[in-house]
């Protein structure tokens, strides 16, 4: 497999872990997809919403459901990147990142019918 990189970080291992349904990586992706679908359905089928992911808050939400020492903010960030790049979504067209003044990243995903289909096919 060619090396998949997101923001210069090799994430091919994370892509494999997600596709092989390994916890907590698959759990993060599954949680995200359910949340995005729920918010998208509230807006209507032909709409486009921007879903913002704060990795630290996402980690806290998932920790309420599962306990795993591999569930770190860094791994959550890399799992999100693996999902986005593994789904062949395009940076700027389908998603973008912002950085807070303290250096934390937030991921903003443009959720529409096409991007949801791409994300779902990834699994």
Q: Is the pLDDT of residue 31 over 50?
A: yes
* Domain definitions of the chain by residue range: 5-122
pTM of the prediction? 0.87
Instruction: Look up residue 4 and give its DSSP letter.
Output: P
How far is residue 31's CA from residue 62's CA, in Å, rounded to a whole number? 8
pLDDT at 71 over 90: no
Confidence of residue 43 (pLDDT cuts 50, 70, 90): confident
95: tokens are 């998603």
What pLDDT, in 10s, does the model give residues 102-120? Answer: 888 999 999 999 999 999 9
């Amino acid at each position: 497999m060619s090396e998949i990189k997101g923001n210069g970080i090799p994430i091919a291992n994370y892509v494999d872990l997600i596709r092989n349904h390994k916890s907590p990586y698959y759990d993060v992706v599954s949680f995200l997809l359910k949340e995005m679908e729920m918010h998208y359905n509230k807006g209507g089928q032909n709409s486009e919403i921007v879903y913002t992911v704060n990795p630290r808050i996402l980690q806290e939400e998932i920790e309420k459901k599962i306990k795993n020492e591999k569930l770190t903010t860094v791994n959550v960030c890399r799992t999100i990147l693996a999902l986005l790049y593994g789904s062949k979504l395009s940076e700027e067209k389908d998603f973008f990142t912002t950085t807070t003044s303290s250096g934390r990243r937030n991921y903003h995903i443009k959720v529409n019918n096409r991007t949801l289909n791409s994300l779902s096919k990834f699994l």
